Amino acid sequence: MKIQVLMFEQDDPSKCTAAKLVKFGIATRIKHLTGKDMILNPFAKEFVLKNDRDLTGSITAIDCSWELAQGMFLKRFAGLSRKLPPLLAGNPVNYSKVGKLTTAEAIAGALYIMDYKELADSVIDKFKWGHTFFDLNQYLLQDYLNAKTTEDVIKIAQEYCLEL
């Protein structure tokens, strides 16, 4: 699975997890999307599911500021648009907040759900707080990995008392 980032450089570069993934050669920085990319979009209608791995060969994260995210995602991006199910942030800035993930956490979460666990580990291992993301979401991620439909994802989130 290829990992890509479309970076808008709106945040502090020293804290940018996408830039670190590019620096270590885990992700490729791109300037435009193709129709075959899976785009991680927090405002998409459909959730990432395991069977999405059969529909795409790449995961693309849009790296932008949380304050500007809604405006950024109103733009039309070509590709398979998916959102992550509710997950808890492990990063120090948004620790345990639902859905306030860094770009690296979003990519790792999507990879795990699509059953690319080793690749997800290699993404999150680049951050000293990375293990916290998996510790907080251990059972959630495993349940999402086993989900077959959007209804399953909704049911799982409700069982964990997480808002969608």
Number of domains making up the chain: 1
pLDDT in tens, 134-157: 999 999 999 999 999 999 999 999
pTM, entire model: 0.91
- What is the mean pLDDT of the segment spanning 45-54? 96
- Using a pLDDT cut of 70, give the percent of the chain over it: 89
**C-alpha to C-alpha distance for 123 and 130, rounded to whole angstroms:** 9
Q: Is residue 23 part of a domain?
A: yes
Find the domain containing 29 and state its range: 2-159
pLDDT in tens, 79-94: 888 999 999 999 999 9
Task: Name the nearest CA neighbour of 38 among 19, 51, 25, 26.
Answer: 51
The answer to whether residues 114 and 77 touch, using CB atoms and an 8 Å cutoff, is: no
Predicted confidence at residue 5, as pLDDT, reads: 93
State both tokens at 146: 């086993």
Q: Is residue 164 part of a domain?
A: no
Q: Is residue 29 part of a domain?
A: yes
**C-alpha to C-alpha distance for 35 and 30, rounded to whole angstroms:** 14
Cα dihedral value 22, 82, 84, 89, nearest 10: 40
